[in-house]
Structure formats: structure tokens, C-alpha cells
Amino acid sequence: MVRPLGVQEVFIEIASDIDIGAPRTMTPQRNPATVLLAIFLATCSPSSIETDTLDRGSVTEEHVMIPMRDGVRLSAYLYFPEGKGPWPVLYEQRYADLRADRTRRILAELASHGYVVCAQNFRGAHLSEGVWDGYRSLGWGALQDGYDTVEWLAVQPWSNGKIGTFGASQGGFAQNFLAVTQPPHLVVQYMVDTGLSLFHEGYRIGGATKPNRFKAMDRNCRVPEHNDRWLHETFEHPTYDEYWRQEDPTLHFDKMNVPAFTIGSWYDYMSVGSIDSFVGRQHRGGPNSRGVQKLLLGPWLHGRYNKNSKVGELQYPENSTFDVNAHMIEWFNHHLKGADNRVDREPAVRYYVMGAVGEPGAPGNEWRTADDWPIPVKETPYYFTPANELGQGGLVLEAPVSSDGRTEYRSDPNNPAPIPTRAFPGARDARLYEQHPEPQTFTTEPLAAPVEWTGKVKVELYISANVKDADYIVRLSDVYPDGRSILIMDKVQRARFREGFDREVLMEPDKVYKLAFDIHSLSQIFNKGHRIRVTVGSTGAEFYEPNPNTGGPMTIEPPEEMLIAENVIHHTKQYASRIIAPLMEER
């Protein structure tokens, strides 16, 4: 039934032969077209296996094309453990390449624990047929590729009908989409650094656009031109409308009805999705979801295989390391095999309280537990104050009483402040950005005692500008006594969306507007002698692609006209710009 990788043969099933509800076998009907296509794929694609020398132990690997309800077939790689089965199945969806040696070794290692592992590419990605449309075919519309795959996997002769899903980032978004569709054989999920709404947490964070980043998605497409069509389609919907509601699982928590273990990372904006997934499923999910969700929040950057103690430029204690794959197997062993290993009795929430590193005796750097999230805190405003003689603004607990307080800065989309990366540069020194003439810093005095923030950080900016639209980037840093400004989080807000993402409202020149938005969450003890810093700017390339500031329609290609913005941050009694901290009072 299962052929080891040494055999150069990949059988592809013809869509007209498929009945998605019928039991499957691993030996399809062969005809000349099938054989020719099989030979072509086996010799000309990443699934060619003749010279493959990757050591997978006793696990065997096979490439298959899995049929969807419309006849399109999606490329998948199956990993089979030693033995006869049937086995439970672990399923992952990605648009990214699945053929890297590290990926294959990890998938094989998962299979060695007594699971069939299925790793599948999205529609239109790599060898998968169909037209690339991002995540749209994974959802609850006419096409439901995740649902169809789960039900196909469930009826294979090597499957016992119990399906668990796993994945990080793209594979987390995919699992939230899948859960809404309620495939009957989906039993359990495991998500790392996940997301929910693609508008709010993916393509339009804060209303800003990143066309250059998403142009690069064409490298994952079977037909690269499909990405151009998809990207243009998304730009036809600049606001959060019905198009984007079709890619927003937050509207359907009541349909999510399985237990999930969810991991979030403090140095990652997508911790928003991880936390909101937990909260939504735990309190508004179906009967098999409510009350059985688990959440783990640690001091890491975005990613699946990086949950260790070295984070950016910081070295945390070894207690910060979490072995994702080992725990994931325990989670699946309980839910898919009935193992009594107590994972279901773990605390609902475990979170790591970050502290200063390299400072013996510093508070924090420890795990805590909670029954739910968020935990009770005191929302405490820290107010911006005008710059001193050194050009540095202050951050204080006392509200302003003056009617005259402002910080002015110029932002030029043709000369943006530098954030020279496409990945969030958390846990790194942010002074390169802060030393550019544009960004403005607001910093506390050295702390007389440690201060803990645990929960959601919010900001209220009062701004004015001489242009119709601009971006406002807010960053939070822990400033060490040696001057390093270690970046913890940031968030952008496009001014035209200040009244909501379902409408565009341009600014009038020099009129004062309030921008209130969440940055995201953290658990951090700022140590004695450290300072807390908030930085505000309007550009940060290449991480943030510059707003042309004209107020014109958002475009894929930069417009010819790009305006320099003269920005003002107000901090007066009437317009008191502030950051709102989740202050943890003494325990």
C-alpha cells in the first residue's frame, strides 16, 4: 500500500474518477494520461525522489494530489509511520514550500509517533492546481478546501477517522478558517502565532498597506501571474467590507467547536490573533470548545521553531524555552489516542513575565498561570511631555495642565526613517530608528522601583498635520542603563481609518484629531534603573511601506506625487496624548 521514497513513481488521480465521499485506496486506477502525468511530476517537480537521500528513519513519504469539491487537486505530502495502521492523521496547510529538508525531517519525526502526517499546499501554490486566491478557498464560501481535505483524509484505509491539525502563522490562520467550516472528523487543533482577520492582522494592519511584501507572494504560486490578479483584487477593497468579512473568523466563533492549544509570542504582533483566538473559542465557541482551550504566551519572536531562550539580541534564562513539537505530540496523544497524560488538566493560561536580562536578581523571567485572559490590571495613562533641551520628550504619570504643549516633526515618504527588515525587529536595539530626525521619543526618568505591565497596551494620540492622510507608528521600548532601547512592540495607524476600518475619512489641514488604538499585549517588568520609552513616527521602511500622504486612493505602485507631512503631536490639558499601560499592582 505505502511505497518508500526510493521508488520514482507518484500516482495522480484524475478528477473525473473521484467521489469525495467514497472510501479511498492508495492504488488509483491507471490510464495512459495518469501515467504520463505521474512520470512528468516525478521527474520535473520537487516531488522527484529518485536521488533523495534524506534520512527519515522508518517513516515513508508519498506525494498525492487530493481532490476538492470542484475537481481541483491540491498537492500534499504524506508521511507514514512504521506498521499497518490505521492511524490518526495530523494535517497542516501552507502556501510556503514544503520541500526543505528541515521541514521534511520534522514532519517525519511527527509521523514516527504513530500518526499519518499530511502537509498540503494551498490552492494554486507550488504543485497545487487551481487559481491562487490566498486564504479565500480555505473558508466557509463555495470552496472549502480544508473541509474537503479533512473528510478525504478521514476515509482513507490507513486513517482511523480522527484528524488533528497543526501549524504556525499561515498554518494558524488556516486552522481558524477550517474550524468555522466544522468538518465532522476534525477533533483537535494546535496553533502557533496564529491570526484571525486577514484585514486586521494580515494585509491591512492599522489600515496601512504593504504591496511590495505581498507582490513577493508570487514565488509561492504555481502560476505567478495569479498573484498579480489576487493583489489587484484586494486593492479594489480598501475598507473592511463584505469581501474582507469573508476572511474574518472572528465573526464565527460560535461555529468553532474543538479544543485547541494556542501559542503566542510577546515580540510578535500576531499575538493579537493568538490571544483573541483563545478568548473567542473559550467563551463564545461551540460546546466542545468552551472552557477547554489552552493558551501559552512566551518571550519569543514570530515563528514555529524558535521558542528558545535566544531572542533577537537578548539571552533569556533557559526556563523560557518551550519544546513545541514534544508538547504538540502530548496534546495529540491525549485527544486522538486517549492518553491520560494530564495535558487537559494544564492551566488554561500560562504566560512568561519578561524581565531584564544580564542583570542578576532582576525580577521577572518567570512563568505564571491564570484561569483566563486578560488578567485584572489597572489601566494607567502615561502622558507625553514636550522635548527638553536635548530634544527628548518625557513620559509621566501626571496629566498636563498647560494649554500649550506640542511636538513637531516632518515625515518624508521619499526619505523614510529606517526599519531595514521585513520581519519585526523585536528584542533588538531600536536606536537606529530613534536617531533619525523624524521619530520622536518620550521617555520616563530612571525607574525608582520595578514596574510591571501585563496585558494590552493602548495609545491615544492627538495629532494634526498639513496633509490629508498620514501614518502614525507607535513603538514601546525598555531602555537599559547602558542606553540600549530594546524594542518590545509597535503598531501603525493610518489616519484616514481613525473612525473605523469600514470608512475612509481624510484629515483637514492643521485640525486636531484623536487616534485611539491598541498596540498589542505584553508581560514585562521594567527593572529599577531602566526607563520606559514610547517612540512616535510616520515612516519606517522597509518594514512599513511609506504612505504618500496625499489622501488619494491606495495603490499597488507608488504614486508619482508624494508629499512631505508636517506633523504635530499635541500634549495639552485638552489634547493629552498618552499611552495606556496595563499596570500590575503589587501581587
Q: What is the DSSP string of 110-129?
A: HHTTT-EEEEEEPTTBTT--
| Each residue's pLDDT tens digit, 249-306 | 999 999 999 999 999 999 999 999 999 999 999 999 999 999 999 999 999 999 988 9
% of the chain with per-residue pLDDT over 90: 88
Confidence of residue 18 (pLDDT cuts 50, 70, 90): very low
279 within domain boundaries: yes
Q: How far is CA 109 from the centre of its chain?
A: 25
CB contact at 8 A, 363 and 525: yes
365 within domain boundaries: no
148/264 same-domain check: yes
Can you give the pLDDT at residue 587? 67
Q: Which of 347, 369, 398 lies at the terminal end of a domain, its last residue?
A: 347
Confidence of residue 55 (pLDDT cuts 50, 70, 90): confident
The burial class, CB within 10 Å (0-12 / 13-18 / 19+), for 565 is: buried
429/560 same-domain check: yes
What CATH number does the domain containing 578 carry?
A: 2.60.120.260
Can you give the pLDDT at residue 45? 39
Res 96 pLDDT > 90: yes
Q: What is the mean pLDDT of residues 164-169?
A: 98
Can you give the pLDDT at residue 42? 36
CB contact at 8 A, 198 and 366: no
Q: Which residue has the cell 521553531?
A: 305
CA distance 263 to 44: 38
Give the other-Cβ count within 10 Å of 475's Cβ: 25
441 within domain boundaries: yes
268/392 same-domain check: no
| Each residue's pLDDT tens digit, 332-375 | 999 999 999 999 999 999 999 999 999 999 999 999 999 999 99
Report in angstroms the alpha-carbon separations of 182 from 186, 279, 392, 434: 7, 19, 54, 47
322/382 same-domain check: no
Res 111 pLDDT > 50: yes
246/153 same-domain check: yes
| Each residue's pLDDT tens digit, 367-387 | 999 999 999 999 999 999 998
Helix H, strand E, coil C: the string for 256-325 is CCCCEEEEEEEECCCHHHHHHHHHHHHHHCCCCCCCCCEEEEEEEECCCCCCCCEECCEECCHHHCCCHH
Q: What is the DSSP string of 164-186?
A: EEEEETHHHHHHHHHHHH--TTE
Res 559 pLDDT > 70: yes
Can you give the pLDDT at residue 54? 86
426 within domain boundaries: yes
CA distance 105 to 64: 18
User: Model-level pTM greater than 0.85?
Assistant: yes
The burial class, CB within 10 Å (0-12 / 13-18 / 19+), for 523 is: buried
User: Which of the residue ranges 28-37, 42-51, 207-216, 484-493 would you say has the lowest mean pLDDT?
Assistant: 28-37
Can you give the pLDDT at residue 388? 83
Res 408 pLDDT > 80: yes
Those residues with Cβ within 8 angstroms of residue 425's Cβ, 6 or more apart along the chain or in another chain: 312, 419, 487, 543
| Angle of the 170-181 helix axis to the 145-154 helix axis, nearest 10 | 80
Q: What share of the chain is helix, strand, coil (3-state, %, to 5)?
A: 25, 30, 45
110/181 same-domain check: yes
416/295 same-domain check: no
Res 31 pLDDT > 80: no
What CATH number does the domain containing 335 carry?
A: 3.40.50.1820
28/69 same-domain check: yes
Q: Which of 301, 325, 347 lies at the terminal end of a domain, its last residue?
A: 347
Can you give the pLDDT at residue 244? 98
Q: Which of 293, 326, 347 lies at the terminal end of a domain, its last residue?
A: 347
Number of domains forming the structure of the chain: 2
Res 493 pLDDT > 60: yes
CA distance 392 to 407: 10
30 within domain boundaries: yes
310 within domain boundaries: yes
Confidence of residue 21 (pLDDT cuts 50, 70, 90): very low
CA distance 276 to 299: 18
CA distance 585 to 587: 6
342/393 same-domain check: no
Q: Which domain holds residue 23?
A: 15-204+240-347
Q: What does the block give as the cell for 362? A: 532582576
Q: Which residue has the cell 507608528?
A: 473
3-state secondary structure of 555: coil
123/175 same-domain check: yes
Q: What values do phi and psi take at 167, rounded to 5?
A: 150, 165
305/422 same-domain check: no
Which region holds residue 83: left if phi is over 0, alpha if psi is between -120 and 50, else beta? left
Q: Do the bridges between strand 60-67 and strand 73-80 make them parallel or antiparallel, or are there none, so unpaired?
A: antiparallel
CA distance 193 to 303: 7
The larger pLDDT score, comparing residue 40 to residue 526, is at: 526
Report in angstroms the alpha-carbon separations of 326 from 3, 4, 68, 401, 467: 27, 26, 32, 56, 53
Q: Measuring CA to CA, which residue among 23, 90, 56 is closest to residue 337?
A: 90
Q: Which residue has the cell 491598541?
A: 518
CB contact at 8 A, 69 and 20: yes
483 within domain boundaries: yes
401/463 same-domain check: yes
Confidence of residue 391 (pLDDT cuts 50, 70, 90): confident
User: Which of the residue ranges 1-5, 268-272, 406-410 would you say has the lowest mean pLDDT?
Assistant: 1-5
Confidence of residue 116 (pLDDT cuts 50, 70, 90): very high
CA distance 314 to 329: 29
Q: What is the mean pLDDT of the chain?
A: 91
224 within domain boundaries: no
